[in-house]
Structure 1
Amino acid sequence: CREARADGRRVRACYVAPDFSNPGGVRVTLAARHRLLDLAAREDLLLIEDNAYGFTAPEDDTLPGLKALDTARRVIHLGTFAKVGFPGARVGYAVADQRVRHADGERPLAEELADLKSMVTVNTSALSQAVIGGLLLEHGRSLTALARSKAERYRGNLACLSDALQRHLGDGMPPGVVAHRPAGGFFVRIELPVPADLALLEVSAAEYGVLWTPMSHFSLTDRGDRQIRLSCSYLDPERIETGVRRLADFLRKETGG
């Protein structure tokens, strides 16, 4: 913000995925959430909260979302039905209760966004909206109820992946290999002692039958050059177990362990 002001510009918004973000699976602490809100008020900017993975939080979780902490209408909350309904519907939602002023009055930002979307995309498919509406009606008009069974599956898969990594690597983890264990989301990040490049991925896929994503694809710096991302959303526990067993073999033989 300071750099923008020095150049005669202004930062209007900050995009953040505070809960189990893709690809790192990290979560913003409560203290950091309050600091973000304070920053937004001080710098007069909006926070765009992407909450695609928040529903996978542990059942006893009490960490509030940014929008739940927002008392000054600084947060626009974005959600999707892709993870709790099905991705092909291509339906999401925005909670945007800010007021937009015009010469003839004011109205909610949500209405402004709806008008813009109708011009840019000719609206979301009515059939897709009807399908999502039907899913919500079947679950008592509750997004939480709709997401419950999917959340249980994803939490189970994440626990399965993390436990399998501990079993197959555990104390025998190759030197320089560190597996992070997130509390939610779809992804587990692993640090390697060697560059996680496409050549290494080709060896993993061709010789061990395991696919992963180099974290360098998500970074503008060299921070992710020696990290990989594992995804556990699609696979069942048996395939996760098989994949981790192969991955452990790959890590021991191919990363200098």
Structure 2
Amino acid sequence: MPRRPQRASSSRDLERYAGLFADRTKVMTSSAMRDLMAITERPEVISLAGGLPDTSTFPPGQFAEIMGAIAQTALARTLQYGPTEGTADVKDCIVQVMEAEGTVVDPADILVTTGGQQVIDLVCKTLVNPGDVIIAEAPTYPGAVPAFSSYQADVRQIEMDADGMRIDILEEALADLDREGRTPKFIYVIPNFQNPAGVTMSLPRRQRLVQIARERELLILEDNPYGLLRYEGDPLPTLRSLDGGDFVISLGTFSKIISPGIRIGWAVAPRPVLQKMNQGKQGSDLCSSTLSQIFVSEYFASSRWTDYVDAQKQLYRRRRDVMLDALAEHLPAEATWTRPQGGLFIWATLPDGLDTTDLLARALTRNVAFVPGRGAFLDGRGGTSMRLNFSGVGDDDIREGIRRIGEVVSEQLDLLRALTGGPLATEARPPTEAGTREPDPALADVLELPRRDAGDQAARRDRG
């Protein structure tokens, strides 16, 4: 039997290949979520880290029926290459999804992609030269961070509150860029149930953002994977519906309403931009999976897809409430967190002096995981915050996972108090209506939301 070749040492590997790497690799970073995937796949780990929908609820009989029908009637087509822009049938499904949110689109303006993540990559590939400015929320989607870094963008992050991106701060940032003689290539926002913060951009801010884009002829990349996962409150118009399609690139995906494993997303963009994105996709993967596209179209044809989404919404709403109650029971009084009206995430912020990157290492020894807040920033902020996912695990695991996190937080707080010789010097943040208070610049990585008083905490514990 032939012997396996000996692997060179890591230092030798680096020495051998370092001179071959492109300059962009020096600023490439890993996704905070992907780095955790190998760990969180272990069955003993309660993962509150991934942006995972609950795929165990998809009916196995329906899956088998769809795949059987594909094998009988469309096998040769399914196993073949498809058009780069996507099949006509799956584009019709995308039109239905967008119409469900009040957005009317022409199928000719749609580019089918390999998941929503590819849209971010293609937009950067199409628009961004090294050093170009991208504007994003603070915090932003952790998966966008490595994409922006890979294209060597200069990312300016705009603080948020309970009503989403602060448009007044955005206008100040744009004025600063004007003085520098620079124009951002696009503004990246997640207006509905933002990842990671869970907050939703208010209607006045949406209207003003679209107005700014039109006045300045700026592109907006509207990342909207969660818009149909609303549990309470009234739906708000998409940025594209407010804009009409001149300056908004819409990003959508079937990952959260059917399955992330099928890896089908889409972009709707102004046609000159879409044409360049299509060319960029040809160089990346030729076309998205034909099998996955036909699966989606057969699924839409064989069932009421909205019924499945409605069932998921009920499930996720209950799990959100379970997590909110667990946070009130197990996190210290100084902690704050968002209360999302939909989506998959809660953004929790711990007392000053704690660092969630360090905290994660300790939490993993208790077999529980979350995404540290620094993964949602490009400038080192977010150290006291964490992203928590409530959709991917059951009620009991949510309660137990938050209990374990609470234990680790309490231990670190006790240690910190012992080292400092007294109570933590946490700056007071008085209660206020969400979105009405100017945030302290020193706390720019903290979403300024109403704080809980002792009575509220006690009431939550009683309900638990």
| Identical positions, percent | 32
Query: Alignment partner for residue 358 of structure 2, among 199, 213, 217?
Result: 199
Query: Alignment partner for residue 79 of structure 1, among 252, 258, 263?
Result: 252
The alpha carbon displacement at 1:203 in A equals: 1.9
The alpha carbon displacement at 1:10 in A equals: 3.4
- Contact conserved, 2:232 with 2:341, CA < 8 A, in 1? no
Counterpart in the other structure of 2:291? 127
2:183 is aligned with 1:10: yes
The gaps in structure 1 that reach 5 residues or longer are 101-108
The alpha carbon displacement at 1:122 in A equals: 0.7
The alpha carbon displacement at 1:2 in A equals: 4.2
Distance of 2:179 and 2:408 partners within structure 1: 50
Distance of 2:268 and 2:387 partners within structure 1: 30
The gaps in structure 2 that reach 5 residues or longer are 1-173, 418-464
2:188 is aligned with 1:30: no
2:273 is aligned with 1:118: no
Cα 1:59–1:132 shift into 2, 3 Å = farther
Counterpart in the other structure of 1:235? 393
Cα 1:111–1:156 shift into 2, 3 Å = farther
Distance of 1:232 and 1:131 partners within structure 2: 27
Q: Any residues of structure 2 matched to 1:10-159 within 5 Å, and which?
A: 10-58=183-231, 60-71=233-244, 73-96=246-269, 98-100=270-272, 110=274, 113-140=277-304, 144-159=306-321
The alpha carbon displacement at 1:116 in A equals: 4.2
Higher relative contact order (CA 8 A, sep 6+): 2
One-letter code aligned to 1:118: Q
Q: Deviations over 1:43-97 (max 9, x none)?
A: 101211110122221255232221222236222211001111211211112223x
Distance of 2:282 and 2:314 partners within structure 1: 35
Distance of 2:218 and 2:314 partners within structure 1: 36
Number of positions where the alignment pairs a residue of Structure 1 with one of Structure 2: 241
Q: Deviations over 1:105-129 (max 9, x none)?
A: xxxx556544542343210111111
Counterpart in the other structure of 2:67? none
One-letter code aligned to 1:74: F
Counterpart in the other structure of 2:378? 220
Cα 1:158–1:8 shift into 2, 3 Å = same
Question: Under a length normalisation based on structure 2, what TM-score does the superposition of the two structures give?
Answer: 0.48
- Contact conserved, 1:213 with 1:229, CA < 8 A, in 2? yes
- Contact conserved, 1:213 with 1:230, CA < 8 A, in 2? yes
Q: Deviations over 1:165-201 (max 9, x none)?
A: 23x24xxx52422222222221112111233243322
Distance of 1:150 and 1:77 partners within structure 2: 23
The alpha carbon displacement at 1:29 in A equals: 1.1
Distance of 1:128 and 1:182 partners within structure 2: 31
The alpha carbon displacement at 1:224 in A equals: 0.7
Q: Decide which structure has the larger Cα Rg and report it.
A: 2
- Contact conserved, 2:185 with 2:219, CA < 8 A, in 1? yes
**CA RMSD for the aligned pairs?**
2.4
Cα 1:186–1:147 shift into 2, 3 Å = same
Q: Deviations over 1:21-59 (max 9, x none)?
A: 222222211111011101101110121111012222125
- Look up the SS of the partner of 1:133 in the other structure: helix
2:425 is aligned with 1:252: no
One-letter code aligned to 1:201: L
- Contact conserved, 2:199 with 2:340, CA < 8 A, in 1? yes
- Look up the SS of the partner of 1:85 in the other structure: coil
2:327 is aligned with 1:165: yes
- Look up the SS of the partner of 1:230 in the other structure: strand
One-letter code aligned to 1:70: D
Cα 1:247–1:5 shift into 2, 3 Å = closer
